[in-house]
Structure 1
Amino acid sequence: MMPADQNSKVQQQMFKLLWLFRWRLACGFALMVLTVIFQLALPKGLAYFIDHLNTPDIALLNRLAILMLGILVLQATAMAGRYYVFESTGYLLVHHVRKQLYQSILNKPVTFFDKHHVGELNSRLGSDVEALHDTLTMGLALFLRASLLFIGALIMMLSISLSLASVLIMLIPLSLFMAQWIGKQFRVRSEQKQDALAACGKTAQEYLSHIRLVKAFNQQSFANQRYVDANKKSLHISLKNTALFAKFQSGSLLLTFGSLLLTLWLGAGQISSGNISTGDLTSFVLYAGMLSMSASTLSDFWGEWMRTVGATSKIFNLMSDAEHSGGSQRREIDGSIQFQNLSFSYPERPEHCALQQLSFSIQPGEKVALVGPSGAGKSTVVALLMGFYQPQQGQIIFGSENLTDLDTAFLRQQIAVVEQEPSLFSGSIFENIAFAVAERDVSNAEVIKAATLACADEFIRRFPQGYQTQVGEHGAQLSGGQKQRIAIARAILRNPRVLILDEATSALDAASETLVQQALDYLMQDRTTLIIAHRFSTITRADKVLVLEQGRLVQEGRPQHLSAQQKGAFYQLMSMQLRHSAVNPI
């Protein structure tokens, strides 16, 4: 259950959203006041009409009928205007929240994505945000309208018959008690429902994004069952919510029409005693209906409001804690890197030390190979250098600055990464290469030059649509070598001071590797390069090798020097790699 203080904060955030659209809402409220005034006037006019049906002045009745018709037309016009203003404001509000939420998610630190699944975040952007639309605009409009009608109808009823109005007023506390109780239930269960929907989205996203693996292992039934189980939980919560709402609706209906029947029964006695006329009783019943329906609307809104509070609490929690920025933005970074007594554990695994007292230095323009068995800490070094995580002990010096003192965006402008499996978006080849530069628009000439230097221009031009060729999801329409060369073109366009090559050629055939290596040789010129590699042929291109084991630096030196140390970790790693490749040991 949501704590009371958090509940209050969520509601404050919701009112802040409304304040952004205060002028549109004020316009809608003015139109609503007109509709309420017209609605309250109609029963009084009808009472006068009924009580003067036997009058010989037909012209008066005609004028009265025309007046009432005119009021109806004005009410209908004002109602249409009110509906448009509030409904359109709802869409504007949802657009604003969705934009802010997506931007907030993008600016979250990497540790956030270690804990939250993409499917869950999609659900928050979708159904959770949509819950704000009806409640914060049309729902609020109905609440305000019901409040005005409730007050207006009560005043009119008191002016017609104090005794009859007193009986109905006694039923109001019961209606408010029902609304308060049901609101608490809705808030808790709505939060549970949104969590269940997020779990469904998470499961679907996970298996659909790995559909080739699912099909390769014939696991469609397993994937389907996982989604069915998640969906069944969501269904169970939805059915419980529906049953609760049905009971509430039944109680509200009984209270509403029961009060109207009581009014008619007591009113009949009042007519017999001559205290009120038939027209007055008719108008009183209409006002009583307005009062009862308004009370029911107020109760419904309170339940809906608390449902929305529960459903959107996660949204406002997500719209905070952006990634660190605002540090130093030096104009020049020479590319030197130092790790000084650095120790690090991942936030989700604090008991396991990924790096232990790691120290090394890389000079500007130096090519350094980072080698070691799986789990040695190579990828962790890269993650820390990119500013994805902060070390618990020690520091990283980038240029002459402590990495934690640098602006995150500025730091990453200085670095480019070429991965073993390049990350490509489902847009065009041009868009994937131009993705390297976030600060400005990139010209066609710049993209073509980068692709040419990456040995990619030739194969790109062979496509019918050239640089506008759609690469498909994750670049599925391209070969491994083509994807690598596009990733290299992207890195060339970025023009970084530091280059990170993460197994950039390990998954390629000989022909593709030759072309990719040619592109990499150009890319590495005059740049500090950190190479994560297992291939001996790749490692020998490095100026220096750092050998890691269990998060510790166990060897450091030139590849030729380390190759001669037969008892060293590097020699053992390379011997094993060469044996697996059916090549003679070192």
Structure 2
Amino acid sequence: MSHLNIAPHLERLRLLYPVRWRIAAGLLCMALTVGAQLAFPQAIAYFIDNVAALTRRGVTPGMVAAMLAFSVLYALASAARFYLLQSGGHMIVMGVRRRLFDVVINQPIAFFDKHHGGELNSRLTSDVSALHESLTIGAANALRSLCVFVGGIAMLLQLSPMLSLPLALFIPISLYLGKLSGSNYRLRARAISASLAASGKVAQEYFAHARLVQAFNQQGGAMARYAQAMRQLLDVSLAGTRLLAVFQGAQGLLAFVALLTTLCFGAHLIGQGRLSVGELTAFVIYASMVTDTAGSISEFWNTWMRTMGSTDRIFDILRSHRPVPESAPQPPLAGHIALREVRFAYPERTQVTALDGVSLTIRAGEKIALVGASGAGKSTIASLVLGHYQPDAGSLQFDGIDARVLGVAQLRRQMAVVEQEPALFSGSIADNIAFAVPDRQVTREEMLAAARLAHAHDFITAFPDGYETLVGERGVQLSGGQKQRIAIARAILRAPKILILDEATSALDAASEQLVQRALDTLMQGRTTIIIAHRFSTIVKADRIIVLDNGRICQQGTHAQLLRAGGQYARLMQQQLSQFQQLHDSTATL
């Protein structure tokens, strides 16, 4: 077998290293049970061939005690083997899940653009679980079967080399069938794993948007789409099951034919006086052991190849991770940002240019607003500043130093973002505010101070559980304005040098917007701020407005300067004013 073929197997076997002593103890217990299993047919042969003498002499208390001690030892060794190997398997699975989660959570944002959360969750759960049975209990049982197989053949040859001849044909055929079906299993397991991930993606997507599904009466469509995913999964699963059924049937036929041949040939040898009844009985038991274990070895190979197929994608992800070296410590940022002839296209849409030669300088402490139609490049600039993507051409600098020199981790420690739909976790309000500071414990006083500055303290303390109130998944228990102010409190607690406000007030009513805007005014003081906004009330507070069109800067200046100049900005403001006037007229009519 070539190195290329054996490398994936070794990659999985290396997972055993952290629990090697537990596995070794389990294998020692297994050796005891195998020895007992191989000795058992010889004991039966002795009893059959010496039944007359034993009947005359009787069973002595010493023999009873020895058999009882043997049984207890066998039971203890079996229990210890099962516990040690099963617990080792759980530890391996836990370790792989942690490694996989650590690798995935540290992937660049482009990775999450390509892979759906439901698919990744399927890799983390069902695919990793496949390692448990095959890598510990399955592998140990296969090794046990191999030991019984080799020991059984040795005992068969000792009892009667002639009677062993029929098995010499059965065993190679059985092992060849296992190898043949195993290569097919790996491909089918990969298809099953992909179908499971696809069905998980469908389910998670509809569960995450359950309110929208019900609002549009789309339960039927959701059920139909999930049913289609299940049908695809069933098709590939049944294909694997058919293959397994053929393999099991062929194995059963071979075992039955081998046993009948052994019995017939054994009866012939007894008639010639070349074999005793006890020896034939022991031979049949050993033959059954050998045929069963040969089938078990082949079956394990199939299981192992299924595991290889279902975990291929896991190891692809693990191998793709290259830890980013920590950059040399840098002094705190002043907040100066510069984009120099930046060109960028999203990895999944390389044919569409998102930014086309953008050059922009933002002074430390300056508040700029990015304005433009949808798709103009506003959020793309924010994503580049946050380090979610790297420019395809040009450079991004902070305080005159290239972002790649400073390193993403160091830059993000001095940034905060408040989004249009704040990302809240399903824990408490306190947990969501403290999320801003990952490297230390946040004091109660710090949290209360941040909440007060964000105008959130009053509504939080009005809840019966106060700061321990659970917000629900994605903050569904809170209003839009409340979620926004918690997000602002989180940003205040982070004390960033650079602040990004991504449509932070666009989805709020007038009353909520006033409270949120006061909180934002507090947050922006003394910080370099990039505001992505459409609303006039937010834009006019910027020191400078940057107007984008098709990935290029077409205008920049203050609100008054841009209105006087006309052009794109003036048209955008006129459209907003017309919409406001229409809304006002319709309200007055009502």
Name the TM-score, length of structure 2 as normaliser. 0.96
Which of 337-346 and 269-278 deviates more? 269-278
DSSP 3-state at the match of 1:348 = helix
Which residue is 1:300 aligned to? 299
Pick the aligned partner of 2:22 from 9, 21, 24.
Answer: 24
Which residue is 2:436 aligned to? 436
Q: Is the 8 A contact 1:49 1:61 kept in 2?
A: no
The two structures, once aligned, show a CA RMSD in angstroms of: 1.6
Which of 5-14 and 279-288 deviates more? 5-14
Q: Is the 8 A contact 2:358 2:551 kept in 1?
A: yes
CA distance in 1, matches of 2:306, 2:101: 23
Which of 304-313 and 405-414 deviates more? 405-414
Which residue is 2:482 aligned to? 482
CA distance in 1, matches of 2:66, 2:398: 81
Which of 103-112 and 257-266 deviates more? 257-266
Q: Is the 8 A contact 1:42 1:68 kept in 2?
A: no
CA distance in 2, matches of 1:213, 1:249: 48
Map 1:442-453; keep pairs closer than 5 Å: 442-453=442-453
Which of 67-76 and 5-14 deviates more? 5-14
Q: State the Cα distance separating 1:6 from its structure 2 match.
A: 7.0
1:517 aligns with 2:517: yes
Q: Is the 8 A contact 1:38 1:72 kept in 2?
A: no
Which residue is 2:238 aligned to? 239
Q: Is the 8 A contact 1:324 1:408 kept in 2?
A: no
Q: State the Cα distance separating 1:58 from its structure 2 match.
A: 4.6
Which residue is 1:151 aligned to? 150
Which residue is 1:529 aligned to? 529
Which residue is 1:373 aligned to? 373
Map 1:73-88; keep pairs closer than 5 Å: 73-88=72-87
Pick the aligned partner of 2:34 from 24, 33, 36.
Answer: 36
DSSP 3-state at the match of 1:361 = strand
CA distance in 1, matches of 2:134, 2:211: 41
Q: State the Cα distance separating 1:66 from its structure 2 match.
A: 4.5
Q: Is the 8 A contact 1:325 1:408 kept in 2?
A: no
Q: State the Cα distance separating 1:64 from its structure 2 match.
A: 4.4
Name the aligned partner's letter for residue 98 of structure 2.
Answer: K
Q: Is the 8 A contact 2:19 2:88 kept in 1?
A: yes
CA distance in 2, matches of 1:239, 1:533: 53
DSSP 3-state at the match of 2:499 = strand
Q: Deviations over 1:200-254 (max 9, x none)?
A: 0001111111111111221111111111101100011111111211111111111
DSSP 3-state at the match of 1:163 = coil
Name the aligned partner's letter for residue 216 of structure 2.
Answer: F
DSSP 3-state at the match of 2:163 = helix
CA distance in 2, matches of 1:5, 1:482: 59
Identity of aligned residues (%): 49
Name the aligned partner's letter for residue 447 of structure 1.
Answer: M
Residue ranges of structure 2 left out of the alignment (5+ in a row) = 584-590
Q: State the Cα distance separating 1:95 from its structure 2 match.
A: 0.9
Q: Is the 8 A contact 1:329 1:407 kept in 2?
A: no
Aligned in 2, Cα 1:546/1:8: closer, same or farther, shift over 3 Å? Answer: farther
Name the aligned partner's letter for residue 444 of structure 1.
Answer: R
Map 1:552-571; keep pairs closer than 5 Å: 552-566=552-566, 568-571=567-570
DSSP 3-state at the match of 1:55 = helix
1:117 aligns with 2:116: yes
Name the aligned partner's letter for residue 208 of structure 2.
Answer: S
Aligned in 2, Cα 1:325/1:496: closer, same or farther, shift over 3 Å? Answer: farther
1:99 aligns with 2:98: yes
Q: Deviations over 1:18-77 (max 9, x none)?
A: 122111111011001100111111111111111111116755743445434432321121
Which residue is 1:414 aligned to? 414
DSSP 3-state at the match of 2:368 = strand
Pick the aligned partner of 1:55 from 44, 53, 56.
Answer: 53
CA distance in 1, matches of 2:323, 2:457: 37
Map 1:129-528; keep pairs closer than 5 Å: 129-319=128-318, 320-322=320-322, 324-528=324-528
Name the aligned partner's letter for residue 272 of structure 1.
Answer: G
Q: Deviations over 1:78-132 (max 9, x none)?
A: 1111111111111111111111111111011111011101110111111101111
Q: State the Cα distance separating 1:440 from its structure 2 match.
A: 1.1
Residue ranges of structure 1 left out of the alignment (5+ in a row) = none
Which of 77-86 and 314-323 deviates more? 314-323
Aligned in 2, Cα 1:69/1:438: closer, same or farther, shift over 3 Å? Answer: same
DSSP 3-state at the match of 1:262 = helix
Q: Is the 8 A contact 2:338 2:400 kept in 1?
A: no
Q: Deviations over 1:379-436 (max 9, x none)?
A: 0001111111111110000122201222221111111011111111111100000000
Q: Deviations over 1:491-541 (max 9, x none)?
A: 000000000111111222222111111111111111000111111221111
CA distance in 1, matches of 2:9, 2:63: 47
Name the TM-score, length of structure 1 as normaliser. 0.96
Aligned length: 580
DSSP 3-state at the match of 1:506 = coil
CA distance in 1, matches of 2:509, 2:65: 88
Name the aligned partner's letter for residue 54 of structure 1.
Answer: A
Name the aligned partner's letter for residue 524 of structure 1.
Answer: M
Q: Deviations over 1:468-510 (max 9, x none)?
A: 0011111111111111110000000000000011111122222
Q: Is the 8 A contact 1:45 1:68 kept in 2?
A: no
